[in-house]
Amino acid sequence: MTNQDVAEKLREVYNLMQLAGENRFRAIAFDRAAQTIEGLNEEITKHIEDGTLTDINGIGKSIAEDIKAFQETGTMPVLESLKERVPKGLIEWLNISGLGPKNIAKIHKELGITEITELKEACQSGAVAELPGLGQKSADKIIKSIEYLEKFGERARLDQALEIAEPIFNFVQNLDGVLQCHIAGSLRRSRETIGDIDIIVAADKNNADSIFDAFTGHELVVEILGRGDTKSSVRTENGRQVDLRIVSEKEYPAALMYFTGSKEHNIVMRQRARERGMALNEYGLFKLSDEKETDFDQPVETSSEKEIYQKLDLNFVVPEHREDKGEFEFYAEQEKMELVSDDDIRGVIHAHSTYSDGKYSIKQMAEASLERGYKYLGITDHSRTAAYAGGLTIDDVKQQWDEIDELNETFTSNGKNFRIFKGIESDILSDGSLDYPDEILEGFDFVIASVHSGLEMPKEKMMERFKRAIENPYTSMLGHPTGRLLLKREESKIDLNQIIEWAVERGVAIEINASPWRLDLDWRFGNKAKDTGLLTSINPDAHSTDGIDDIRYGVMIARKAKFEPARVLNTKSAEEFLEWCKGSREI
């Protein structure tokens, strides 16, 4: 439990209290306490041990109890009771600039609405303007803020962030005076969503001005948010913020490491340094003085991130793994982890054609795959229950099989080493069965089983559903297990650890859906997947030829999730892939 954790919890209480319309002063006390704790120079846990919590300015008996409860149980009774009273949707309203908690509570009470979409409608219909103290002007302002939120949101998907980060990075990298340059932050760690983009540059001080000038003048920049001696921040066309930091060449390795994060990884690194009589910060690695303080006069020379890790008895930790999720144990023992890369991928699995909701014919999808250097394509249109997506009737399926047979013959007679597999993305029906009778399922080379409806089923029922789908001998792999759409739709309530175990037992793989909207299987289950030996397939879920290129995002997530090539099915040759599919039916 860090000071930051405690501060965040207290702030959550503050926000919810306001929404619940509780006494304002009581609410503010929580905000004050959060601020104080953030600024503490020592660990709050030490105060708990010493029984000195209430000695801290602004922390009374009652908040002290709440903090202790948080340490013991991971939550606070006051927070739990607030969560029961405040509708979940309302919390999101706090992100609407210009709309305070008091008005949120008022609108909710008077109009009985909880979702942002409902709020927007109520503003447009005039219902909000009629409320006392609000008026048309306020309603218009709320609409504008909601539209801004809808357009840009708080975070961006990986593809949206890269679309901005890559051109700016390439531009900055080539500027005069730039000695070294890297993307840092969550993007370097391949997170699935990105808050802001961080770029670090090593340069001489006297070149900083011209580098910042060029950066802030880049064509993607729409607003300069700030500019200092060492840092400049801008807002770009798609609403993303980009921070550029310039440090000396000497400071560069430590700065790059610091600003790559994660915060959690940094905290452990700092601790490791202290244990070895050193201090690590964004400026470098230093010896500790006799008073155990950072001695800036005694730097420990390091010329790369790798050397910093070595001084702390670790091998180089790849940026994707810097999350304090087992990397310290691993890289203390092993030099490196074998990880899948773009070049390992040999086939495109999970693609839709015009038979269902894809934009291109099977032939066009195959040619696009071939052009990109892939050896096979597993076509997986939607199954018959997915009527909204043009799911295939049994007759359609048979027609598609004939077409695939013909296309494969043509490839062979043209001397092309390329093969199309007959797949299907079968809906998992609400009782867990697949969408065709066995004699049809048997005719497919492989089956991806996905949930597309009833995503909000209660957990127990959902787990039964998955269990049955996994037990079906025709299921080769599960598609996008949680059904989430990043920054848009929540995941289904499931116990993925359990699902991974069932899948491994039955020889079923779980795809990493590479669409930047999904990136599902989530990398956070990478350790579980590695321990159990779970297999995956990095699937673009392509609905167009361009969609095939999404494989790139899937590879980023697979690396983060610690998958080596051998556990990724589409690194296999076409023959091996087919063999695996056949074998998996017998387990």
22 touches, from ligand DGT, Zn ion, Ca ion, none (C-beta below 5 to 8 Å by class):
none
- For residue 261, the partner it binds in Ca ion, Zn ion, ligand DGT, none, with Cβ less than 5 to 8 A by kind, is ligand DGT
Rounded Cα distance between 473 and 444, Å, is 12
Residue nearest to Zn ion (CB): 450
Q: Residue 182 binds which one of ligand DGT, Zn ion, Ca ion, none, with CB within 5 to 8 A depending on kind? A: none
Is the N-terminal amide bond of 145 cis, ω within 30° of 0? no
Q: How far is Cα 571 from Cα 559, in angstroms, rounded to an integer?
A: 14
**Distance from C-alpha of 211 to C-alpha of 236, rounded to nearest angstrom:** 17
Report d(CA 36, CA 32) in Å as an integer. 6
Choose the contact partner of 45 out of ligand DGT, Zn ion, Ca ion, none; CB within 5 to 8 A by kind: none
Nearer to Zn ion, 168 or 499 (CB): 499
Q: Which of residues 271-330 bind Ca ion (CB under 5 A)?
A: none
**Cβ atoms of residues 532 and 501 within 8 Å:** yes
Q: Which of these segments, 132-140, 432-440, 444-452, 495-503, binds Zn ion (CB under 5 A)? A: 444-452
Residue whose Cβ sits closest to ligand DGT: 261
Residues with Cβ < 8 Å from 43, sequence gap 6 or more? 2, 3
**What is the torsional sign of CA 4, 10, 13, 19?**
negative
Distance in Å, CB of 267 to ligand DGT, minimum: 5
Is the Cβ of residue 347 or residue 483 nearer to Zn ion in the bound state?
A: 483
Q: Give the DSSP letter of residue 509.
A: E
- Whether a cis peptide bond, with omega within 30° of 0, leads into 521 is yes
By CB under 5 A, what part of segment 445-504 binds Zn ion? 450
CA 27, chain centre distance (Å): 32
Q: For residues 198 and 381, which CB has a smaller minimum distance to Ca ion in the complex? A: 198
The DSSP symbol for 340 reads -
For the bound state, the minimum distance from the C-beta of residue 427 to ligand DGT, rounded and expressed in Å, comes to 34
**Phi and psi angles of residue 158, each rounded to the nearest 5 degrees, phi first:** -55, -45
Residues that bind ligand DGT (CB under 6 A): 185-186, 191, 194-196, 198, 258-259, 261-263, 266-267
* Smallest distance from ligand DGT to CB 262, Å: 5
- Residue 262 touches which of ligand DGT, Ca ion, Zn ion, none (CB < 5 to 8 A by kind)? ligand DGT
Please list, in sequence order, all residues whose beta carbon lies within 8 angstroms of the beta carbon of residue 434, skipping any fewer than 6 positions away. Answer: 383, 426, 427, 428, 441, 447, 449, 469, 472, 474, 475
By C-beta, is 425 or 522 nearer to ligand DGT? 522
CB atoms within 10 A of CB 213: 12
Q: 45: how many CB neighbours lie within 10 A of its CB? A: 14
Q: How far is the CB of 258 from ligand DGT (least distance, A)?
A: 6
- SS3 of residue 382 by DSSP: strand
Residues 550 and 542: beta-carbon distance below 8 Å:
yes
Residue (242 or 508) nearer to Ca ion, CB? 242
d(CA 503, CA 501): 5
**Listed ranges 49-57, 64-72, 130-138, 239-247: which one lies at the site for Ca ion (CB under 5 A):** 239-247
Residue 195 or 239: the one with the smaller Cβ distance to ligand DGT is 195
Side-chain half-sphere exposure of 353, counting CA atoms within 13 A: 27
Binding mask 404-443 for Zn ion (x = CB under 5 A): ----------------------------------------
| Nearest residue (CB) to ligand DGT, 101 versus 185 | 185
What does 581 bind: Zn ion, ligand DGT, Ca ion, none (CB cut-off 5 to 8 Å by kind)?
Answer: none
How far is it, in rounded angstroms, from Cα 122 to Cα 136? 11
User: Site mask, Ca ion, residues 468-507, x = CB under 5 A?
Assistant: ----------------------------------------
Work out how close the CB of 188 gets to Ca ion at its nearest, in angstroms, rounded to a whole number: 9
The CB-of-95 to ligand DGT minimum distance in angstroms stands at: 15
For CA atoms 467, 470, 472, 473, the dihedral sign is negative
Least Cα distance to 468 among 423, 508, 418 occurs for 508
User: In the window 191-220, what residues touch Ca ion (CB under 5 A)?
Assistant: 196, 198
Binding site for Zn ion (CB under 5 A): 450
Binding site for Ca ion (CB under 5 A): 185-186, 196, 198, 243
